[in-house]
Amino acid sequence: LTGERQTVSDPQTGEVLWAHETQQEYSAQGLANRLKPDGLPPVEWLTCGSGHLAGMKLGDRPLVEYTRDRLHREVQRRFGSDSLPDSYELTTTYTPGGQPEQQYLNHPQLNREYGYDEGGRLVRISGPQQTREYRYSEAGRLTGVHTTAANLDITLPYATDPAGNRLPDPEFYPESSSMVWADNRITEDMQYRYRYDRYGRLTEKTDRIPEGVIRMHDERTHRYDYDNQHRLVRYVRTQYGETQAEGRYIYDPTGRRVGKRVWKREPVHWSETRTELSARPYETWYGWEGDRLTTVQTQQRRVQTV
C-alpha cells in the first residue's frame, strides 16, 4: 500500500462530509519508513540493520530514539531532542525470563519496579509514591489488588463465577456468588440490567436502582442496533420517556469505522427550558493507514497518532 484516500459523502446530496489521505514509502527491505498524513509534515521511521525500530521523526523534529540490547529488546528510550526542556529518557531492565523488572526516568517520581511470582504473573508494581500488589486464584484469575501510599491502604477484592465472569463485591453483595448466567451472558450487575439478541449481541442496557434506594431520576436505557456484519450502527439513550441522545456509525467497505454522528438533547433557546435533539449532529471522523487508526477529528480538534 503506497497511498489511500478515504471519502465519506452524504448519500442524498453527494456532499463530501469527510476526506482523509495518506501516502507511504518503503525501504529497500520492504519496511515502511515514511508516512505523509493530511496537513502534517512527513513521519519517518528509522530502523537498524535487523529491521527493528531505532527512531522516529516528524518533519525535521526528532520524536523518539531507541537503544536495544543484543536480544533487540528496548533498554533505553529518549523522547525529544536533548536541547528541548521537555525531553526525557526511559531506561528499562529485564528479569532473566525477559519480563520488565525496572523502569527509570530522568523524572524519578515516575520510576517503576515490577515483581513476579514463580508462574510469571505480575504481583507487584512499586514506585516512589505508591505500591500495588496483585493476588490471584489457583486458576490464575485476579482476586484482589492491595494499594498502599502515604495516606492510603486499601484492598479491592475481585470475585468471579466459575466461567470467569466478574461478580459484584461479595462483601456488599454476598448473593452474587450464587448467580448463574444462562449462555454465559450476564443479565444484571450492580449498575445495569442487560438484554441480548439471538446472536448474543447486547441490545439493551438499563440502569439498575436497588431496592430501598430513593429514586432521584428515572432509569436510563441504552439501546444498540447492528448491521448484518454484527457492527454497531445505531445507539439510542432514553430517559423520562424521551430520547436523550442518538448516535449513528459509518463504516467503509473494509469494515473500518470512519465516522460517528451524534444528536444530543439540548435547550431550544437559551431562555427556555424546553429541549429537543440537536438539528445538526456532533461529528467524529476516523482516518486510517491500512488497519492502523491514525486520525480522530471533531469540529473542535484533531488527534494524530504517529
The pLDDT value given to residue 91: 96
Q: How many domains does the chain have?
A: 1
Identify the segments of the chain with pLDDT beneath 50.
none
Give the tens place of pLDDT for each residue, 4-36. Answer: 999 999 889 999 999 999 999 998 888 889 999
The answer to whether the beta carbons of residues 191 and 220 sit under 8 Å apart is: no
At CA 192, angle to CA 191 and CA 194, rounded to 5? 155
- Let me know if residue 76 belongs to a domain: no
The pLDDT value given to residue 259: 96
- Let me know if residue 124 belongs to a domain: yes
The answer to whether the beta carbons of residues 160 and 169 sit under 8 Å apart is: no
pTM of the predicted model as reported, rounded to 2 decimal places: 0.81
The pLDDT value given to residue 16: 94
Closest alpha carbon to 129 in 155, 105, 108: 108
CA distances from 225 to 84, 195, 246 (A): 49, 12, 11
- Let me know if residue 264 belongs to a domain: no
- SS3 assignment, position 266: strand
The pLDDT value given to residue 178: 66
Give the tens place of pLDDT for each residue, 177-202. Answer: 667 777 888 888 778 899 999 999 99
The answer to whether the beta carbons of residues 36 and 26 sit under 8 Å apart is: no
- Let me know if residue 163 belongs to a domain: no
Closest alpha carbon to 239 in 223, 261, 262: 223
- Let me know if residue 121 belongs to a domain: yes
Q: What's the gap between Cα 275 and its chain centre?
A: 32
- Let me know if residue 129 belongs to a domain: yes
State which residues form the domain around 145.
114-158
- Let me know if residue 136 belongs to a domain: yes
The answer to whether the beta carbons of residues 223 and 235 sit under 8 Å apart is: yes
62: exposed, middle or buried (Cβ count in 10 Å: 0-12, 13-18, 19+): buried
What residue type is assigned to position 91 of the chain? Answer: T
- Let me know if residue 127 belongs to a domain: yes
